[in-house]
Structure 1
Amino acid sequence: MQRTRRALTAAAALAACLPLFSARALAADPYPSKPIQMIVPQAPGGTNDIVARLVAVALSQRLGQQVVVENRPGAGGNIGTQAAARATPDGYTLLMTISSTQAINPSLYRSIPFDPIKDFEPIAPVASVPNVLVANPAFPARSLSELIAMAKAKPDYYRFASAGNGTLNHLLGEMLNSMAGIKLEHVPYKGVAPALNDVLGNQVPLAFASLPSVLAHIKAGKVRALGVSSARRSPFAPDIPAISETVPGYSGDLWVGLFAVKGTPREVTQKLTQTMQEILADKTLRDKLAAQGAEVMTGTPQQFSKMLASDMDKWARIVKASGAQVD
């Protein structure tokens, strides 16, 4: 009887410890132990979506868990970014976003449902894509310096097209106006495609467009490239001068970067950062990104954070000067 009581007591003690053992075992599971959701706050087919899907495949292979891309477009990227900001900070929801949403929207919209710095942990910058100032071949200016001279002689006479009010290619034009001391008239369209179509048809002489979207037209002679928006010439189009060669200090690439939710455990963010550095150093991924006109970026989370803050300040000044505002 005494042995029976002892056995029952031992069994009860073991049963009481089981939940503790289970919790410890669960907590000890290495990250990641389940699939990861990567929110892309833009529509499928765009630069960010293409880059995100290439990175998601590489991350899945390295981490041993599937990384699933989920597009949540709307409100210039604000809808998907808000969803990411409200997610549990456990490393199983990531945000792959672009500079337009993270650095420009805070100044462009009267209010946004997230804080680009306080709500997110920077993991890694991923890639940059320059824009190109292009002109219809019939346009008299054959270089940026000639365009600036013409625009100074006739303020508000020459027009440039963009994908819409407050878009990056609109603000790139406004930055050129400010830094070059000229005044090109802005003509907003509902997207890059219709804006570029009217430049091809010579309804509007000038436009800023991403290098991948316009490179084929440049090579075919359907438009003339006057300059790229990056601080230096693009390795994908080295014959096109950088705008900064004529307007010192001019720089405005579209960048793509990966973020985690604020409060994500440090060991998780460190693992994600290390893994991203490994896959971005891989030639296979670099070649795939290059095929999309995207140049791989490198940098620590701290450097990425400083770049974001600097870009927010820069674009806030340009948005204010342009008077652009949404809602």
Structure 2
Amino acid sequence: MRCADFAIITRRALCAGAVLGWALTAAPGACAQGAYPSRPIVMVVPQAAGGTNDIVGRVVAQKLTEKLGGSAVVENKPGAGGNIGTQAVARAPKDGYTLLMTISSSQAINPALYKAPGFDPVADFQPISLIGAVPNVLLAHPSFPAKTVPELLALAKSQPRTLQYASAGNGTLNHLLGEMLNQMAGIELQHVPYKGVAPALNDVLGGQLPLLFGSLPSTLAHIKAGRLRALAVSSPQRSPVLPDVPALAEFVPGYSGTLWIGLFAPAGVPNEALARLQDGMRQAMADKELRDKLEAQGVELAGTANKPVTPNEFAALLKQDIAKWAQIVKTSGATIN
């Protein structure tokens, strides 16, 4: 017997007894105790609340539990660039009740960046579903003289090692996107690391530094308000959300750097539970309401409603990205103990 209603609640809300405003509450005792899921699923987001992964994770969790029946607890476990939450899921019971909603910077970059990340991104996890990708946007303060990518490249070549760009820290995606641009365009932008994306973004908004790669969902409001100028997106093609903003690949052939978001289970989850989760995500990703919500956030959805990316295809993408970013990390010299 399936639950008629469902709940998506945060760990904090669970402890306080409060339900998120958009959640529906599961009727006590309505779920059967035998079939999976018979108790709440804990979906771990290894980043802080309010970020891109957290926003997407909560929308997906709501729709997934609607398709499965039951309820889910969305739990933020930030720290060490996502390693703390990822380690927690890798070591969790292999019963299908603890899942990882993560991003490529944690799953594909951290193994090369950290000397001891505490998990194996391939061996310790089973892919459930690739949700989509979020492009970063190469942003400039409105006062910055270069108004286009060609103007930026020309300025950078005429003034090597003088133009600065901010990032959330050494080895973060918005750091490595700049390093990749340096390597592929033959320029020397100077990296200025911050302790998190918020202070980096604030200094670019304030004009202390001119440039930043920022995720589309977290910077879209600033772009629309004219507080930041969008020079280009990091995805291979233009984003439907910013159709007038070119892709960097239009000027630097082959440039591509997006943040993908996906759902994993720990390796060893029973086949029955894994199949239910994968089928639930197939249904969720075909749901028009979910797709509309995610696209409005700037997410470029994986596959189509009728043909989603398969778990095996997702696993292949992960391995490909691990190799790609390992080379960029090595060239950049970034490392974290």
TM-score, reference length from structure 1? 0.88
Structure 1 residues 210-219 or 273-282, which shifts more?
210-219
Paired with 1:192 and 1:92, the residues of 2 have a C-alpha distance of 31
Which residue does 2:161 correspond to in 1? 156
SS in 2 for 1:66: strand
Which residue does 2:306 correspond to in 1? none
Root-mean-square deviation (CA), in Å? 1.4
Kindly provide the amino acid, as one letter, of the partner of residue 63 in structure 1: L
2:145 to 135, 140, 149: 140
Q: Does residue 1:325 correspond to 2:335, yes or no?
A: yes
Q: Deviations over 1:41-92 (max 9, x none)?
A: 1111111111111111112211111121111111111111111111122211
2:225 to 196, 220, 224: 220
Which residue does 1:76 correspond to in 2? 81
SS in 2 for 1:130: strand
SS in 2 for 1:313: helix
Q: Deviations over 1:213-250 (max 9, x none)?
A: 22222222222211001111111111110111111111
2:318 to 308, 316, 320: 308
Shift of 1:127: 2.3
Paired with 2:130 and 2:53, the residues of 1 have a C-alpha distance of 12
Kindly provide the amino acid, as one letter, of the partner of residue 273 in structure 1: Q
Paired with 1:196 and 1:60, the residues of 2 have a C-alpha distance of 34
Paired with 1:187 and 1:274, the residues of 2 have a C-alpha distance of 44
Q: Does residue 1:242 correspond to 2:242, yes or no?
A: no
Paired with 2:87 and 2:206, the residues of 1 have a C-alpha distance of 39
Structure 1 residues 35-44 or 168-177, which shifts more?
35-44
Kindly provide the amino acid, as one letter, of the partner of residue 122 in structure 2: I
Paired with 1:127 and 1:149, the residues of 2 have a C-alpha distance of 33
2:276 to 251, 271, 276: 271
Shift of 1:270: 2.1
The residue correspondences of 1:120-139 to structure 2 (distance < 5 A) are 120-139=125-144
Which residue does 1:252 correspond to in 2? 257
2:96 to 80, 91, 94: 91
Paired with 1:89 and 1:225, the residues of 2 have a C-alpha distance of 44
TM-score, reference length from structure 2? 0.86
Shift of 1:172: 0.5
Which residue does 2:208 correspond to in 1? 203
Shift of 1:253: 1.0
Paired with 1:36 and 1:222, the residues of 2 have a C-alpha distance of 40
Paired with 1:137 and 1:97, the residues of 2 have a C-alpha distance of 33
Kindly provide the amino acid, as one letter, of the partner of residue 77 in structure 2: R
Kindly provide the amino acid, as one letter, of the partner of residue 184 in structure 2: M
Which structure's residues are more often helix, by fraction? 1
Structure 1 residues 44-53 or 177-186, which shifts more?
44-53
SS in 1 for 2:292: helix
1:180 to 180, 185, 199: 185
Shift of 1:316: 0.6
Q: Which runs of 5+ in 1 are unaligned?
A: 1-27
1:115 to 76, 97, 120: 120
Shift of 1:113: 0.9
Q: Which runs of 5+ in 2 are unaligned?
A: 1-32, 304-308
Which residue does 1:296 correspond to in 2? 301
Which residue does 2:48 correspond to in 1? 43
Paired with 1:221 and 1:79, the residues of 2 have a C-alpha distance of 36
SS in 2 for 1:115: coil
Paired with 2:205 and 2:49, the residues of 1 have a C-alpha distance of 25
Do the aligned partners of 2:142 and 2:227 also contact (CA within 8 Å) in 1? Answer: yes
SS in 1 for 2:236: coil
Paired with 2:92 and 2:214, the residues of 1 have a C-alpha distance of 34
Paired with 2:44 and 2:223, the residues of 1 have a C-alpha distance of 33
Paired with 1:192 and 1:75, the residues of 2 have a C-alpha distance of 14
Count of residue pairs brought into register by the alignment: 300
Paired with 1:34 and 1:210, the residues of 2 have a C-alpha distance of 34
Q: Deviations over 1:5-50 (max 9, x none)?
A: xxxxxxxxxxxxxxxxxxxxxxx93322222111111111111111
Structure 1 ranges of 4+ moved more than 6 A:
none
In our comparison, the structure showing a higher alpha carbon Rg is 1
Do the aligned partners of 2:68 and 2:276 also contact (CA within 8 Å) in 1? Answer: no
